[in-house]
Amino acid sequence: MKKALVLGASGGMGYAIVHELVGRGVETVAFARNEERLNSLFGNIPGVSIVPGDVANLEDLQEAADGVDVIFHAMNIPYEQWESSLATLVKNILAVAELVGAKLAVVDNIYAFGRSGGKKITEDHLKNPHTKKGKIRLQTENIIKSSTVPYVIAHFPDFYGPNATNAILHYTLKDVVEGKKAGFVGNKQIEREFIFTPDGAKAIVELSLTEAAYGQNWNIPATKPITGKEVEAILRNHFHYTKSFYTIHKFMIGALGLFQPQMREVVEMLYITEEPTILDGSKYEKLIGPLPKTSYEDGLRETLDYLKKEVLEKVGI
What is the chain's pLDDT, residue by residue, as a tens digit (317 residues)? 999 999 999 999 999 999 999 999 999 999 999 999 999 999 889 999 999 999 999 999 999 999 999 999 999 988 889 999 999 999 999 999 999 999 999 999 999 999 887 789 999 998 989 999 999 999 999 999 999 999 999 999 999 999 999 888 998 999 999 999 999 998 999 999 999 999 999 999 999 999 999 999 999 999 999 999 999 999 999 999 999 999 987 666 654 443 355 555 677 777 888 888 899 999 999 999 999 999 999 999 999 999 998 865 665 54
Please name the residues in contact with 20: beta carbons below 8 A apart, sequence gap of 6 or more.
198, 201, 202, 205
Contact (Cβ atoms closer than 8 angstroms) between residue 209 and residue 154: no
Please name the residues in contact with 128: beta carbons below 8 A apart, sequence gap of 6 or more.
113, 114, 115
Please name the residues in contact with 142: beta carbons below 8 A apart, sequence gap of 6 or more.
none
- Lay out the sheet containing 103-108: strands in order across: 48-52, 27-32, 3-7, 70-73, 103-108, 151-155, 216-219
Question: DSSP label at 33?
Answer: S
H/E stretch holding 238 reads helix 228-239
Q: Residue 238's CB: how many other CB atoms inside 10 A?
A: 14
10 Å CB burial of residue 34 (0-12, 13-18, 19+) is exposed
Contact (Cβ atoms closer than 8 angstroms) between residue 166 and residue 195: no
Give me the sign of the Cα torsion angle 291, 298, 110, 23: negative
10 Å CB burial of residue 199 (0-12, 13-18, 19+) is buried
At residue 256, the pLDDT reads 46
Q: Delimit the domains of the chain by residue range.
A: 3-165+193-223+277-293
In degrees, rounded to 5, the angle at the alpha carbon of residue 68 between the alpha carbons of residues 294 and 291 is 20
**CATH number of the domain at 3-165+193-223+277-293, please?**
3.40.50.720
Cα distance between residue 270 and residue 115, in whole Å: 11
Among the listed residues 194, 82, 196, the one whose alpha carbon sits nearest the alpha carbon of residue 139? 82
Among the listed residues 112, 113, 114, 93, the one whose alpha carbon sits nearest the alpha carbon of residue 104? 93
Strands 245-248 and 158-160: unpaired
Cα distance between residue 21 and residue 276, in whole Å: 31
Please name the residues in contact with 5: beta carbons below 8 A apart, sequence gap of 6 or more.
28, 29, 31, 64, 65, 68, 70, 71, 72, 102
Please name the residues in contact with 237: beta carbons below 8 A apart, sequence gap of 6 or more.
none
